Structure 1
Amino acid sequence: MTDDEIGEIVAFNNIVAFEAVPEDPPTPTDQAIASQRAVPERYIRTTVLVRSAEGDIIGSTGLRIDPDNDDNPDVISGSVIVRADHRRNGVGTELLRYFVALCRREERDRILGSTNGRLPSGEVFAQTLGMEAKQAMHVNHLVIADVDRGLMDKWVSDGPQRAEDYEIFGWDGDVPEEHMVDFLDAVLVMNTAPRDDLEINDFTLTAEEIREGEKQMHAIGFESWQLVARRKSDGAWAGIHNVMWNPAEPDVVHVGATGVRPEHRGHALGKWLKAVMTLRVMDERPNVTEIRTGNADSNDAMLRINKEMGYKPWISATTWEIATDAAEDWLKNRGLELPAV
């Protein structure tokens, strides 16, 4: 894909993104190009576009698969995106034909997709197709101006008392080589997060994938901060918390992952980790106005902490599933065959 082609797609995606999140700035073209160029060559990538009579992109679909690191080889996640002024004209159905054909090409039995609560047309399309809602979640956000700094200070000062045998340390940027093995093990705590009705395997992660992700973050200018809760008596890693900052979106910090291993819970380590990070954001990123995090609506433990901190629901989202057979049948019942891809 050429730089000009990437630029066209970015412009289209920015139009759709503005409809969903008008508060956010558009993705810079140079950042998108850098991100695309940093994707490992082994990835299988296919993009399908629909253009208007004038040649403008009005819809897209496609897939991206890492053939060497695929924890759910029977499942494919994807999206069908149509510009608002071209919906209800069959564009989405035409794109669906191609997406289902790609699923067949890659021998995937199930399709996962998500809808954004601010774009109700997506939910209507999913329901019309016969998809089943599998998980409800929200992007929750913490407005910095509303943070109770005294409460955050208290959680930090209470940390060593409530968790006497624990300490917190961290780093900025890449995972230090001496911590890689422990980090790879600790991050798997995210497999304990609620999945509701989603039937998917635990994710796995390799050092190679970590380094590839870091390379991509460097290419687009992202900065990351990582915290770890560690038991002092034996050095066991108990929990992790990290955030990311995008210079193209300078007033927002995004939470990447927060988790405490089950055997270490009950010591308020999650509160300690999140309070330390929140105070650092407030002190060292004075231009940041909010912190965002995504949580399943069923994740009661994390939502309880977030609510105490002042997080509020911002944008809802739903993950949907349909069998590839059912999606193809839906198309065939409308006289539509799958194209060659």
Structure 2
Amino acid sequence: MGTPASIVRVEPVSQADADAWCEVVTASMAEDLADVPPPTRAQEHARLTGPGTGSRLLAWLAYEDDGGSRGRAVGAATLRLFDREGQDHLAEVDLHIRPDARRRGIGTQLLSAMVAEAASAGCRSLIAEAPACSPADLFCVRHGFRRALTLHHLLLPLCEVHRGWLDELTTAEHPGYRTAEWHGTVPDALADAFAAAKTAMNDMPTGDLDHGSVAWDAERVRAMAAVVTGRGDTLLTVAAVHGAENAEVAGFTEVVIPGGTAARAQQYDTTVVPAHRGHGLGVWLKAHMLRRLHDEYPQVTEVETGNAADNTHMLAVNEQLGFRRLRTTYEYQLALTERTEREEPA
């Protein structure tokens, strides 16, 4: 099994800590997620040190012992503790081990540190994501996590989307609806309506995952945009607006461009409010977003999105637009109360 590594809680996170973190994550992803661009050092430093939205992030590094001194970093982990009502029972785990340092108990050491911290914070469950049929997948099973949700990740190469076809989709009539677009923070006039549409996402399929619910308000949506912008990413939103006075946001789609210049954009939230479904707004909104990327962000060559396996409607929308399956991941959940009871001495 090998000599266990030294586990260090890093607080505050220095640039050197973030650099070590990035090296571990890059090596781990090259082995397990070769089709995903690794984060840059600047992105990781911003993520590890920036404020969260309704949460706080704790970080650990695992170091090899090198003759009594600290050697290279071989493991990295974060624990996101939620403090927003509706999700304060949850914590999210992100854990990476260098491929040549696996099967030595380092991941188990890091997980134990995070379980103890989450339990002391009053959390009742941990959530972790693992690529299907990967070492992380097996690690979760071996440590008592329960598979709760299957996610299909899809990729759309923009070179395969004809600009004329997008024009046809975006000019199709949707009586009573108009689009609104913004960069970063939502305009004040739409902030409350946008928050209400965000809250409507609580009905999205989440399998057996105890993900809780989130009540959004104008302050929270502004804070979320500030976090994304603060770490150097570009947040784009296209919304469908219904009505003139007391206008509703009937649906929206968000895309984030990492670092503001990345070639692969990441799809964030997309939803249509229940009362406005059945009018083709999902395809209409996403086509507007793709046209916006074509026109304003030529460096973006592809868009990645992820959908729950049982979210058949959104999967159909994405496949209609040309997205194709890239990989599958699983969301795992660990009940902390059950784990604590098992580990208590007789």
TM-score normalised by length of structure 1: 0.87
- Which residue of 280, 295, 308 maps to 1:268? 280
The 1-side partners of 2:105 and 2:290 are apart by: 46
What CA distance in whole angstroms lies between the structure 1 residues aligned with 2:55 and 2:206?
26
The within-5 A match list for 1:1-341 is 1=12, 2-39=14-51, 44-54=56-66, 55-67=71-83, 69-117=84-132, 120-158=134-172, 160=173, 163-232=174-243, 235-247=247-259, 250-328=262-340
Bigger relative CO (Cα 8 Å, ≥ 6 apart)? 1
Compared CA separation, residues 249 and 313, structure 1 to 2 (3 A): farther
Aligned-pair distance for 1:76?
A: 2.1
Which 10-residue stretch deviates more, 57-66 or 295-304? 57-66
Q: 1:272: how far off?
A: 0.9
The runs of 5 or more residues in structure 1 that have no matched partner are: 336-341
1:30-59 CA-partner distances (Å, limit 9, x unpaired): 333334443169954432322112411112
SS in 1 for 2:255: strand
Query: Given residue 329 of structure 2, which amino acid in structure 1 is its aligned partner?
Result: A
Task: Provide the C-alpha distance between the structure 1 equivalents of 2:209 and 2:195, rounded to a whole number of angstroms.
Answer: 24
Displacement, 1:23? Answer: 4.4
Q: Compute the TM-score of the two structures, normalised by the length of structure 2.
A: 0.86
Find the residue that maps to 2:298 and give its secondary structure: coil
Whether the aligned pair in 2 keeps the contact of 1:25 and 1:249 (CA below 8 Å) is no
Query: Shift in Å at residue 332 of structure 1?
Result: 6.5
Identify the residue that residue 338 of structure 1 maps to in structure 2: none
The verdict on how the C-alpha distance between 1:227 and 1:45 changes in structure 2, with shifts beyond 3 A counting, is: closer
How many residue pairs were aligned? Answer: 329
Give deviations 1:189-229, integer Å, cap 9, x for gaps: 22121011123321123434333333333333211221111
Greater percentage in strand? 2
Same amino acid, percent of matched pairs? 24
Q: 1:52 to 1:70 in 2, by over 3 A?
A: farther
Gap regions ≥5 residues in structure 2: 1-11
* Shift of residue 129, structure 1, vs aligned partner: 2.2
1:24/1:320 CA distance change after superposition, 3 Å: closer
What is the letter of the counterpart of residue 160 of structure 2? D
